[in-house]
Structure 1
Amino acid sequence: MHKFLATSSAIAIAMTAQSALAQETQDEEPQVRTSPALNTITVTAQRREESLQDAAIPVDVATGQEMQLAGVSDATALSKIAPSLTVTSGGGANPGYFIRGVGNFTNNGYTNPAVSFNIDGVYIGRSTSTVASFLDLNRVEVLKGPQGTLYGRNATGGAINVIPNRPELGELSGAVSLDIGNYDSVEISGMANIPIGDSVAVRLAAAHNAHDGYNSDGTNDADDIAFRGQLLAELGDTADIRFSVDYSEQNGVGPGITIVGNYNFLPPQVPGRNDLPVPGWAFSPAPANVSAPWTGVHAPQALAFSNTIAGAPLHSPYEGYAYPFRNDNYFGVSAELNVDLGGADLVVIPAYRRSELDNQFNGPPFKAAINQDEAEQYSLEARLSGETGPVDWIVGGFYFDEQVVGTNSFNQFATISHNTFDSQTESFAFFGRATLNLSDDFRLVGGLRWTDDSRSIDAFATATAAVCLEHPVGRPPNCSHVPTLPVGLTLQDTLDQIDPALFPAANPAVAFNPDGPDGVGQVFPYGPFNIFAPAQFGPGAIIAITPNTTRATDGDTELTYRIAAEYDVTPDNLLYVSFENGFRSGGFNLAFGRETYEPEFIDAFTLGSKNRFFDDRVELNIEMFYWEYSGQQLAALGVDANGNNAFYTRNVGASTIMGADIDFQVAATDTTFIRGSVQYLDATYDSFSFSQVDLSDPAEDPLNFLRPVTGCEATQVATGPTDPNRSFNVDCSGRDALNAPKWTASFGLTQEIDLGDFVLSGTVDGRYIASRQIGFNYIPLSRVDDNFTLDATLTLADIDEFWRITAYVRNITNEAVPSLNQTGSGNIVATTYQPPRTYGVRLGYQF
């Protein structure tokens, strides 16, 4: 019902405005259409309004219309409009963002994103991909590199600014659109701008977007609704205030993964064991009908393949993948007060946001992962800007208070991590930036930001492992008669689903003591009682449950800064050079022995030039960059100090990132526009290493028996063959950074044809991405080949642009573009893909 109401409201909003407008505009003269050479785009990336060509910073910008043509309806598709940006989504509601190799594969309730996400000027602590953010947009700005002064908090990789259209005083206007395409895609949206007198205006927007799953098992679908309302009021001649409220939902199935194969353990006596690409492990590819892109783990043939796999520690077939779902909602309210104080301008932005996540997913290959998180944040930013003699200045303060309360479960068939947590973050920052105008053409810029972050966590987690007790000679253990662990949000939910008859000694659903010593497992015999089994007498397996309590407080205080010089060679040609640093605060993990991680830091040098030539018909922007990245945080699957599976953030090392970025636009004629960009990127890990517990049995297994599944160098660390604390040092130094293709390029053409009272326009856009690493373990499958995708649109509109009809095809060649590679349960490897070929028709009417 709520989806029907949202769809109906989108139509009603637009039609109400249409009816009123028709009475006021029926006698007006028709508008005269003009064709400027190149448009001037206004940005606020430096907390002030300026043209994109005057902004002496590296930034990509896409207007709302450009994003609509490109099919960007949420954060997961932003890489289409920013070549330096990579967005990953392996499951649930937590996408990962990388800019030039700086980022995270995913974010959860207790990790920090490396790329700052800002909606309408409000910093978002949980960068979930809400559809409300992309509703009735003016533009999206993607800032590249650390933002250590004006944005500051955790923005080591860059910032994404999502900026909606504001209410317009004295203007009655509206729009409605309907988009119908393959995969039963339906998107309907509406907008109305309604004046209330001369000094107040309201802007309302709503949308409903739905399509079937891109994967054959129904995953990778959409079922989203969104609403935003804004009120703008002038408070006299020197002040105005704007209120904004938004609500959105993401429902349906959610993201999915496709299985490509699995790694099988090879005992040391197998010849060539250590000469494989992944030493000690042989890769078994899945059948073609399982590994084909956009298949999905729940396709019948994929489930049949998974049932043939039985991995450690239980060695029971992987049956019973739980089907995913999403039921996530987001709410936000904010205000923006602007006051002209005479010689200075004051901006105050208070905001509140809440997200409630309830989703179940399979990526990486899990039986099920369940997230039930609720995040609340309060923020306040105040800025004062002005001019004093030759100095333009801005000073401000920022306050952020966030609490995330969550209950999560990660089931890998034979192992489960359950946790509950209460994570709190409080951040204060004071910042300032000054521009000294030494002449009309030459400027020096300096900025500082002092940030004080404090954080705390109160969490309880259990790691549950079912372990097969067989110790056969010459073959792997086999506990196919012992069931894998049921899916449950809590440990009690899981244990209650197991037949008590499978516990011959004590039922852990009753006997487990959650107040037992942290890191010490409580063991329960598990499985049918084998009386005649020659290899093992008694129960088939054991269940070990290890509790871990994390109660901690910590914090970081940092001073970051920016220095720059800007020179206007001509009014249309800008040259700039800058240095800026940034940091991302440390945090906590719910993993025994790995409870904390440290901040990361980045230093960025930039030399850039922005140019317009030939009366604004040619635009050429060039940026060269050199970044030094240290203490890099990376969140990925691993094992804790006890050898239990865990997802945690670790500081893996340092990297050097350098390259060049070229963007261009050409108005070849008044009706022919050419655009493109090329980025060269050399991102290499100077050091990348971490320690991993050796999961073999020191009493029975020799050294180097059970090596980690990685393509990196793995060196055994032990005092001797029976060292109970032996481990591996994994070293990926010298490898390419993750999600950092050497070359990225895009090219586009727009052609308009004047048909008298109508205009026909077509666009063609292509995007090339070179080979790259998309998986943490550097296995061969995580290195993917280069890809090229092609999109096209054809639009017919009346000359006044009241109505338009657009036909579109995206990913014309149906290119399978991998976005994430993960290794999960039973060393099953799975890949997530960008959307396949989609096509449809969009009808739009505005007035």
Structure 2
Amino acid sequence: MRILSTRAQAFTAALLLSTASTAYAQEAPAAAVDAADAAAFDEAGGIVVTARNREEDINDVPIPITVLSGDTVAQQRVFTIADLTQRAPGLTATTPNARRTGVSLRGIGKTSGNDNMEAAVGTIVDDVFLGHVGMTYQDFTDLQQVEILRGPQGTLLGKNTSLGVIKYTTKAPTFDPEGTLELEKGFTRKAFKARGSYSAGIVEDLLAFRASFFLDKQDGDILNVNPARGGRWHERNRWGGRVQLLFKPADNFSVKINADSAETNENSNTKPWIVDPAKLDDGSVRGTTFSTRLARSYFGGYTPIIGSTTTIDMDQAEPLITRNSGVSLVADWDAGPVQIKSISAYRKLHFDAKNDSEQTRFAIARGGTLVDSEQLSQELRVSGDLTDALHIQAGLYLFKIDTETTSRNLFGRDAGAFYATNGQYNTLNTATNLPFLRASLENVFSTTYQNPVSKSQAVFAQGDWKLTERLAVTGGLRYTWEQKDSITTRGATFIDGRALVSAGNATADAIRSAQLGAAYTDVLGTPIRDGSFSWLINPSYKLADDVLLYASASGGGKSGAVAFLNDGTRANVLPERTTDFELGVKGAFFDNVLQLNVNLYHTKVRDYQNVTSFADAASPTGFSSRLGNVPALRARGVEVDGHLRVSDALSFNFGGAYNDAIYTDWSTATCPRNVPSSTPVCNNTGKQIVGAPKWNVILGFNYDQPIGDSGFTLRLFANDTWRSSHNLEQLLSPYGFQKGYHLTDAGIGVSKELNGVETEFSIVAKNLFDTQYTTSVNDFSNTAPVGYDGVGPRRYVGALLRVKY
């Protein structure tokens, strides 16, 4: 894979030099924001955050936080979770589709492709916790700001999260009219994007509304050369909207109704094949592989595409559909001595994948998962000052999520010739027996159904006690009681009667049985009824009015999961427990010229929940996947976020992280597939965690300068993110390494305000130097090569027209 062009290296070197005077020897974020957006600042010039459910200056909050303002999000086109990872040190994500989305902080917390599993890094949108990772797979627009909080946050924010929270806040309805409209046209490929919002009062000082929408259409990076299903894949084709109503009958009471819906319908379900090894580490020949199966005479000398990230050849995949929608009702009452807030919410996710399982032009297999998930939540908070020195927040949180997931496989007329062993193929590949070879799997439809249901009830309280003018301590406690159940069914049917012609042919029946496995009906999982505590002790000391020294010790975790093996055997997953220690300093220096935030951390996780694979002789691929526990891991390191305002026109942002994240106990791991089966287990203790770059550096600038007396303003920005090499394969296969790489976004434009309307025209670029990379790797199996499941988007350049008033 190509890492960085000469132009990119020159650009990055210049950027490093330009910020060297401020990024020197500093390490670690506790909070940062692009100061170009005044909306993120209070009257004194401080950055305002709501990390503790109330507006505070960021330098008064003893939590490691990264902040992006709404204007920064809009200007730099930071609309997805993947975009956000380029702005927040230590945040990584893989987003090949909604169900396989995984988000981590400090290398810990990814979830991928298992609907029984809770996210360790939570996402909260307008005070509503998103219970399924697929609910984050959308464009987030019309934002006030985004906050990334590191460390366990369960004593205050939504559902318990063991490693951190991404907190989105959308812009609220206003009584004064305001609106924006953005139109964007792509240069490097066919693309059209539009975003807009409008807010105004309906009844003066009583009822207001806000409506927003987005449309994101863009040709893909990958060319499908199959004449039957050609065109560009890995595309964007998504849209959505949000409507809010604000009812404010009194200054101290308001009710807000918030309804949103988003949909994607994209030819994006691809993972290019990269390499299909012929030998294992000991030099032994693998035998039957993906390549040798397709080399059989049945396939007429077909050569599959292996080794390209830009070209595929497949005909069975259908567009991948994801729908997210929800509604919430938020009531705020300032009762004088206390403030009361109620958040009632309902959300729904629909996901429908129909993938070409082997990604060829033959009718071998179409597979994919259908997911329908619904959640209900109710949160009630009470807060207030018990004394001048003691502020208390307490609450009750109720949550339920019900998910139905059906894994589906539809086999085609060529499936028998592909999945047969060499002996089975040789027996049936004759003029007489060829119909049996085809009928062995043709039109067989197999499904595995699961219905995990999770309920939780929690009480929480957190207090901020100001011991002196400079010394304070925050303490929090949460108790959560959870009930989890699940049921599973597995079976297969014939779509029509043609496959029945193979009945009685032992070889054809054996081919079918090997693919379908054992059937089972309505297996009830072992239920979970469990309670857990989360806690926080967080002292802080004001070294100066704008400089805060803080420390914290906290604990949290995730409850276990009701799970099954591939044969229906009950195999529950243990609860995950996290202990975290932080030591940081944050502050504004030289009259807010420099914002600097440094944080040291040490995070330990026991019984880390992770999707892993294991050797399974009964599986057609030789391996099976399951949700399990890694005994122990830890991450420790240093993070830095900062912002330097050189002048009214020019500012720099910088950040970075050094993350020493290792498995401290994983001595009995399943070996990657390059290791011969004679080696039963591998010792991964001491190895860097999957998907955890040791180094991460973020550098950028923003420049806004009036052009003489013309009334025009020149606007420039750039942001470069570098991650060091890391392994992305879940069992640490040598084929899973991603080399270090840079991603650079940039833009240039002019704006002018006339009669209260600001108009801006700009050219924006994402991945300016066309870096090729992936965020997820699947190891090879008996029926598939190594696949890049998270190929990053290639260079995009577009023209943007924005009108704002």
Range into which the TM-score falls when normalised by the shorter chain: 0.7 to 0.9
Q: 1:760 to 1:210 in 2, by over 3 A?
A: same
Does residue 295 (structure 1) correspond to residue 289 (structure 2)? The answer is no
Match of 2:380 in 1: 382
Is 1:743 matched with 2:743? no
The alignment status of 1:162 with 2:140, answered yes or no, reads: no
Q: What is the Cα deviation at residue 67 of structure 1?
A: 2.0
CA–CA distance in structure 2, aligned partners of residues 113 and 87 of structure 1: 12
CA distance, structure 1, for counterparts of residue 180 and residue 267 of structure 2: 30
Residues 618-657 of structure 1 aligned to structure 2 (within 5 Å) = 618-638=594-614, 643=619, 646-657=624-635
Distance 1:52 1:184 in 2: 41
SS of residue paired to 1:407: strand
Partner secondary structure for residue 52 of structure 2: coil
- What are the superposed Cα offsets for residues 321-354 of structure 1, whole Å, 9 maximum, x if unpaired? 6324222212200011110111110010000111
Deviation at 1:228, TM superposition (A): 0.3
Q: After superposition, give the CA deviation of every residue in 1:222-271 in whole Å (9 maximum; x if it has no partner).
A: 111111000111132321111100111111212421111113356xxxxx
Change (3 A) 1:660 1:714: farther
Matched to 1:526, the amino acid is A
**Offset of residue 290 of structure 1:** 4.3
SS in structure 2 of the partner of residue 235 of structure 1:
strand
Q: Would the alpha carbon gap of residues 372 and 820 (structure 1) be closer, same or farther in structure 2, given more than 3 Å must change?
A: same
Distance 1:281 1:622, change over 3 A: farther
Residues 283 and 152 of structure 1, relative CA distance in 2, 3 Å threshold: same
Q: CA deviation at 1:93?
A: 3.9
Q: Number of residues paired by the alignment? A: 703
Q: Shift in Å at residue 76 of structure 1? A: 3.2
Does the 8 Å CA contact 2:514/2:618 hold for their aligned counterparts? no
**Secondary structure at 2:666's aligned position in 1?**
strand
Q: CA deviation at 1:411?
A: 7.1
Say whether residues 1:581 and 2:572 are aligned partners.
no
Q: How does 1:539-558 map to 2 (within 5 A)?
A: 545-548=517-520, 549-552=522-525, 553-558=527-532
Q: Structure 1's 776 and 641: CA in aligned 2 closer, same or farther, altered over 3 A?
A: same
CA RMSD of aligned residues (A): 3.2
For residues 198-220 of structure 1, the C-alpha deviation after alignment (integer angstroms, 9 at most, x for no partner) is 22210000111111112223322
Q: Secondary structure at the match of 1:776?
A: coil
Q: Is the 8 A contact 1:73 1:131 kept in 2?
A: no
Q: Secondary structure at the match of 2:689?
A: coil
State the partner residue of 2:458.
429
2:638 counterpart residue number: 660
From the superposition, tell whether residues 600 and 671 of structure 1 become closer, same or farther in structure 2 (CA, over 3 Å): same
Aligned to 2:705, the other structure's residue is in SS state: strand
Q: 1:362 to 1:767 in 2, by over 3 A?
A: farther
Alignment of 1:76-155 (within 5 A): 76-91=82-97, 93-128=99-134, 134-151=140-157, 153-155=159-161
Q: 1:784 to 1:39 in 2, by over 3 A?
A: farther
Aligned partners of 2:669 and 2:684 also within 8 Å: no
Show the counterpart of 2:266: 252
Shift of 1:282: 11
Work out whether 1:669 is the aligned partner of 2:621. Answer: no
Instruction: For residues 733-753 of structure 1, give each alpha carbon's deviation from its aligned partner in whole angstroms, at most 9, with x where no partner exists.
Output: 221011111110011112222
Query: Structure 1's 124 and 779: CA in aligned 2 closer, same or farther, altered over 3 A?
Result: same
Q: Residues 362, 575 of structure 1: CA spacing in aligned structure 2 closer, same or farther, 3 A cutoff?
A: farther
Counterparts of 1:783 and 1:141, CA distance in 2:
30
Q: Is the 8 A contact 1:109 1:404 kept in 2?
A: yes
Task: Report 1:180-191 matches (<5 A).
Answer: 180-181=185-186, 182-191=188-197
**Aligned mates of 2:736, 2:193 — CA distance in 1:** 34
Deviations 1:495-539 (A, max 9, x none): 64863223335xxxxxxxxxxxxxxxxxx6417xxxxxxxxxx99
Does residue 613 of the first structure (1) align with residue 613 of the second (2)?
Answer: no
Shift of the alpha carbon at 1:585?
1.4
Q: Is residue 220 from structure 1 mapped to residue 245 from structure 2 by the alignment?
A: no
Could you tell me which runs of 5 or more consecutive residues in structure 2 were left unpaired when the two chains were aligned: 1-37, 225-231, 295-301, 421-444
Q: Distance in 1 between matches of 2:308 and 2:584?
A: 40
Structure 1 residue 801 displacement after superposition:
6.1
Distance 1:35 1:203 in 2: 20
One-letter code aligned to 1:627: T
Report the Cα distance in structure 2 between the residues aligned to 1:410 and 1:215, rounded to whole angstroms.
24
Give how far 1:163 is off. Answer: 1.3
Moved more, 240-249 or 218-227: 218-227
2-side partners of 1:657 and 1:796: how far apart? 44
- Cα distance in 2, alignment partners of residues 683 and 243 from structure 1: 42
In 1, the alpha carbon distance for the partners of 2:56 and 2:467 equals 20
Supply the AA of the counterpart residue of 1:54: D
Task: Provide the C-alpha distance between the structure 2 equivalents of 1:39 and 1:783, rounded to a whole number of angstroms.
Answer: 44
Provide the residue aligned with 1:239 in structure 2: 253
Match of 1:526 in 2: 508
CA distance in 2, matches of 1:82, 1:281: 44
Question: Which residue does the alignment assign to 1:822?
Answer: 778
* Structure 2 counterpart SS, 1:71: coil
* Equivalent residue for 1:840, pick from 791, 798, 801: 798
- What is the aligned partner in structure 1 of residue 299 from structure 2? none
* Residue of 169, 179, 184 corresponding to 1:179: 184
C-alpha distance 50-497 of structure 1, shift in aligned 2 (>3 A): farther
Decide whether the 8 Å contact of 2:635 with 2:661 is kept in 1: yes
Higher relative contact order (CA 8 A, sep 6+): 2
Q: Could you say what secondary structure the match of 1:228 adopts? A: strand
* Mean Cα deviation higher: 803-812 or 584-593: 584-593
Match in the other structure for 2:704? 752
Q: Counterpart of 2:20?
A: none
Q: Give the conservation status (yes or no) of the 8 Å contact 2:410–2:446.
A: yes
Question: How far apart in 2 are the matches of 1:86 and 1:34?
Answer: 27
Q: Is the 2:602–2:635 contact (alpha carbons within 8 Å) kept by the matching residues of 1?
A: yes
Give the 3 Å change call, closer, same or farther, for CA 438–539 of structure 1 in structure 2.
closer
Change (3 A) 1:827 1:254: closer
Q: 1:804 pairs with 731, 751, 760, which one?
A: 760
2:320 maps to 326
**What is the one-letter code of the residue matched to 1:375?**
S
- Per-residue deviation, 1:836: 0.7
Deviation at 1:804, TM superposition (A): 0.6
1:274 corresponds to 2:256: no
Quickly say closer, same or farther: Cα 1:596–1:540, change in 2 above 3 A: closer
**How many angstroms does 1:155 deviate by?**
1.4
Counterpart CA distance in 2 for 1:201 and 1:364 is 53
Query: Which residues of structure 1 form unaligned runs of 5+?
Result: 1-32, 267-272, 304-320, 463-490, 506-523, 528-537, 693-706, 717-727
> Is the 2:128–2:158 contact (alpha carbons within 8 Å) kept by the matching residues of 1?
no
**Structure 2 CA distance for aligned equivalents of residues 632 and 214 of structure 1:** 35
Distance in 1 (CA, whole Å) between partners of 2:407 and 2:246 is 41
Distance, in Å, in 2 between the alignment partners of 1:607 and 1:343 is 33
8 A Cα contact 2:719 2:744, kept in partner: yes
Query: Counterparts of 2:771 and 2:759 in 1: how far apart (Å)?
Result: 32
Counterpart amino acid of 1:419? T
Q: Does 1:62 align with 2:26?
A: no
The answer (yes or no) to whether the contact 1:112–1:154 under 8 Å persists in 2 is: no
1:409 aligns with 2:408: yes
2:66, 2:641 within 8 Å by CA — same for their partners in 1? no
What amino acid is the match of 2:266? Answer: G
Distance in 1, Cα, partners of 2:154 & 2:267: 38
> Percent sequence identity over matched residues?
23
The alpha-carbon distance between structure 1 residues 87 and 282, as it changes in their structure 2 partners (threshold 3 A), is same
Distance (Å, rounded) in 2 between the aligned partners of 1:614 and 1:231: 42
State the partner residue of 1:733.
685
Take 1:92 and 1:131, find their aligned partners in 2: how far apart are those partners?
5
Whether contact under 8 Å (1:594, 1:641) holds in the other structure is no
Q: TM-score, normalised by structure 2?
A: 0.81
Instruction: Identify the residue that residue 775 of structure 1 maps to in structure 2.
Output: 729
1:679-690 correspondence to structure 2 within 5 Å? 679-690=657-668
Corresponding residue number in structure 1 for 2:59: 53
Structure 2 Cα separation of the partners of residues 177 and 136 of structure 1: 11
Secondary structure of 2:331's counterpart equals strand
* CA spacing shift, 1:621–1:257, aligned 2, 3 Å: same
- Distance in 2 (CA, whole Å) between partners of 1:106 and 1:453 is 22
Distance change (3 Å), C-alpha of 1:223 and 1:124: same
